Each structure stands twice: as structure tokens, then as C-alpha cells.
Structure 1
């Protein structure tokens, strides 16, 4: 058997919904979890797990809006978390500091062990685990578990780490963390199939944590990781800055299908095809995401590479884990 990487127990997990108040699968799933109990504690013979569920942006959720003043999921930089606030500060900045106090502080030993932040996209992306690392073995092993347990679902791992750019999303408050992004689903709408997929994803994630904490050793193996390279804006009128084209029909709904140089990229409103002029073939995702119009993003592009994930087990329980290896 390959060498096992031993990691600390995951004693505290947070499941967050409504970071964007109009992404309703996470909102309704967290509400259902809160009905059961705001804080569920499972105590096993040699294990305790605290699962905290919360609505990240209650005001935006109440109004069924993405955000009130600014995008909460961009407010978890050090400048936002530790800068001065007043009554005039944007609501989401104040809320980010509250969440950091509850789940963090970010980067500290007191932070929760794992944050799973629930999101929906209008893009045809299936289920994506989005993190800021291609070497966080906890997140990657959870991803491998989701792929095994959900064979009928397209499950992919996205690495958002960009050189020189600080991680800014809620999931980065925990020692480990990821966004669970599922689509397609229109914002302000809940679709039962997308909701059910998210519910299963959260259940399998918590199942993995309990197995890990109980001493199970998870075997290693290769996984495909999509790492963000760049984003592309819509073509725009140089004077008005209005968009002048839509995503080409041959590209629409083809998230994670390889985009090659000279492939159709946009179709202008007058009917002209505009082609991709990049120097390398890359994988598009968040294609025509409705919330990204305001961010001047038509789609993002990623490279795919293989990462060898090691076998992992809980610290001080390696021998027990060997017996329970899956």
C-alpha cells in the first residue's frame, strides 16, 4: 500500500447557503437542515463532529437578490475582513466580518476545519467542487468520494488559485474549504433535480468526514483538475460599452468541452461568427453565467491536468484506517 498522509480530525464543519441570496438550492437546503437543528452534534465512540448550518447573507436571501451592496463572496480578503467598519459600511463587508468571527478567524488555528459553501449557476456545469488549491488532500479526497458516489452526475474539480491573487470567497475562512457549485438553474428559482443533487452532495460530503474521523484510510489515485487561466468578456461597443454579441450557439451549454483555436466563440447580433483566437486549446466554464454580466465575463477558461492524490487517513488512527481502507 502507498504511504498514507495522516491529517488531523475534522471536528467542526460548516455548511453555508445563501452567500448569494438568489441561488436557491443552497438557501432551501440550509433551511431544511436548520429545521432539523441549527447545530447538529454526532457523538461516536471515538469521534465527535459538529456541523453548523447557516444562511450567509440573510438580507439578500430575504430579498431574493444576489447581494445588497456588493458581492459577499468577494468580501473575504484581509482588507475586507480586518478593515474598519461603520454604520455606513456596505452590508456585505459587515456580514463578512461577522462570518469571519463565527467561522474563523481566517488563517487561524481557531477556524472551523471545513467550510462547504453552496452555490448555483445558470451555466451547464454539473456539480463542481471549487477550491483554491490543487494540493488540499481533504478537498480532493472529498471530490473523489463524490465522483464515486454520484456516478450519473458530471462531477469536476476547479482550482481557482491564480498567482498573485488573494483568495476572496467564504469557503477560504476554514482550514479547508470549497464551494459546491451546481447547475444549470436560473437564479431566483429552485429546480427539484438540482436541489436533490446538492442535497446528495452534502450528504456524501458529511459521510466522507465521518468515515475519515472514524479512522478510515482513503486510497490515493489520479484526478483531473481544471485550473483557471483567464476570463473572456463579451464583444462590446467601444462608445457605449454595450455588448454586441452573444455566446455562439455551438459553444452555449458546452461547459468543459475543449475550445480550440478558431472555434466559434460569439455570434454578433447582426449574425457574424467571431472565433476564438487563443494560442492554446482550453476548457470553457461558467459559459454565459447570468450573474457575470455585471462582472464583464462571458466565460472562463481553464487548463486540465492530472494530480496524484495520496492515500490519507486521520492522525493517530493509521493502523485502524489500514483495516478499513476503501
Structure 2
């Protein structure tokens, strides 16, 4: 049987940014970017020139210096929520939260967002207290960069992709408590970043990638903890049978919560779903217990 293959040519990725410390207490990215900043630029460019005609420009950025100094997620507001067009382009008056000011500085450095002069790929490094391993969070299911990094012939290192409305590509790895650096998590993140950069060089060299299916998850909703109707205090914790089972199927009637009085609350949905960010520390303030995703198989359309 003869198979027809569609050849699609895509522009090279000349400028890549690796950002750590968007949340100041997620330390793997903070320490990794600090380590990358120690590498002499001239040495990096010399090595890259040996592999390709045009060297890959890698910009290393510590995104939220003030939050890093205080080892806090943020100073005034979550920097990750400050990159909408309205926030970046709106008028400022009175007292402006630090992260809003910083988001505009980063936009000028890496963008401007949506302009032709923006960097080609931003890899934003994050830690989670959830047992998610290492995964990529991409902007949409049309993000061909993520799908090919996942299935790169260099090393099939990254186990899962999540499609969610987030800017650029986020590398999320856990479990790791916030404000703590674990060597195993740091090493895995370092390997993931190197894998991503290796793939970019591989792609820029003109390598052809065969089309194939990609195993992904897509986010559909999130749920909050059970709460007291009057005080709004949380009344239950993650059930022991669910804790640390990110990306594992949750079936109807499976244990979901265990109340502080000892009662088991079960999942009442009609179909199996896959929870992730289970018991993420930073989501307590946002009213999120975990997010629900469904499991998909997406065929890569580029070869």
C-alpha cells in the first residue's frame, strides 16, 4: 500500500528563552537558570556554530527577582496571570502591582507579544507539589513544537503533554515542596531543558520528522475542595487512594475526598477522567482541588 506524505516546511527557531523563577518559591527553575547564566556566551556560541550555520540564541531569564528574594510565589499578584493583552497594553494609574510592572518588562524583553520580533520559543520552568513527573503544558493542540519535542528521536524523555490556555511552553515537574530544591527534580528539569534545546538544534539543521500519533491530555474543568457553606472553610482532604495518582484514571464511585470527620466522598461523574495537579499547594488560595483532563491521541500532521 502506497502512503502519501505531506511535506510541510517550517521556519527555523533562531531565538529561544528559558525562564525560571516566574514563581519565586519554585526553586528548580531558579537554580537552573542561575547555573545557565554562568556559562560564557562565547563558549556557547562557538559550540553551536560547529553544528549549524547560524548559532541558536538562548536567552536565560530570571522572571520574578523580588519574589525569588523573598522565596514567595509572588509579591503582589501571580505573574503567570499578568500576560494578557489587556494587562500588557492597558493604562496604569495609582499603585501598580509589582508583577504587572514586571510582566511589561518581560514582554519588552521577549516580545512584544504577538509581534514578529518576539522570541520563537519560550520555555517557562515550574515546580509543583503534585506527583506529575515532568510534563509540557502547551498553548493549544496545534502546537507542533511540543508534539515533536515529545517524540524527538534524540530522547523520548517527556512523558505527557497537557493542552491548556497558557502562554508559550511550560515545563512542569514535581513533586517538590515550594521553597525547597530536590536534586532529583532539579536533574530531571535540567535534562528536560537540554532535551528541548537539543531538539531545536536538531530541527534547525533541517531534519525531517515522520508523522505519527502523540499521546496527550486536554484539560476540561477543575473542582474545588468541599467547603462549609457558612465559613467557606475546607471540610475534607484528598482521599488516600487518590493522593499522588496524577494522570491515573478516576472512575465513577472511586474515592475522591475524605472529610475531616472520616466520611468518604466519591466521584459522581458519568465517565472516567484523569486528575492532575492533585493537592497542589498553590491552588488552595485559588479554590482548586485539582484539574480534570481527558486522554486523547493526536496525530501529528507534519513530516
Question: TM-score scaled by structure 2?
Answer: 0.94
Deviations 1:280-301 (A, max 9, x none): 2110000000000000001100
Deviations 1:62-111 (A, max 9, x none): 11100000000111111111112256100000100110111011111111
Cα displacement (A) at 1:147:
9.1
- Match for 1:15 among 18, 21, 35? 18
Within 2, Cα distance between the matches of 1:121 and 1:147?
A: 26
Range that drifts further, 132-141 or 80-89 = 80-89
* 1:56 corresponds to 2:63: yes
* Structure 1 unmatched runs, 5+: 162-168, 313-326
Deviations 1:190-241 (A, max 9, x none): 0000000000000110000001111111222101111110001000011111
Contact 2:173 2:189 in 1 (8 A): yes
Within 2, Cα distance between the matches of 1:143 and 1:81?
A: 31
Within 1, Cα distance between the matches of 2:7 and 2:22?
A: 35
Aligned to 1:32, what secondary structure does the other structure show? helix
Structure 2 matches for 1:244-259, cutoff 5 A?
244-259=235-250
Within 1, Cα distance between the matches of 2:273 and 2:153?
A: 25
Structure 2 matches for 1:109-124, cutoff 5 A?
109-124=116-131
Alignment partner, residue 318 of structure 1: none
Where is the strand percentage greater, Structure 1 or Structure 2?
1
Cα displacement (A) at 1:4:
2.5
Alignment partner, residue 199 of structure 2: 208
- Equivalent residues, number: 296
* Structure 2 unmatched runs, 5+: none
Contact 2:252 2:268 in 1 (8 A): yes
Change (3 A) 1:187 1:38: farther
Contact 2:146 2:161 in 1 (8 A): no
Contact 2:155 2:195 in 1 (8 A): no
Within 1, Cα distance between the matches of 2:144 and 2:5?
A: 15
Contact 2:131 2:244 in 1 (8 A): yes
Between 1 and 2, higher relative CO (CA 8 Å, sep ≥ 6) is seen in 1
Aligned to 2:25, what secondary structure does the other structure show? coil
- Match for 1:141 among 134, 145, 148? 148
Aligned to 2:61, what secondary structure does the other structure show? strand
Range that drifts further, 137-146 or 55-64 = 137-146
Contact 1:4 1:310 in 2 (8 A): no
What RMSD, in angstroms, separates the aligned Cα atoms of the two structures?
A: 1.7
Alignment partner, residue 223 of structure 2: 232
Alignment partner, residue 98 of structure 1: 105
Contact 1:34 1:53 in 2 (8 A): yes
- Match for 1:293 among 272, 275, 284? 284
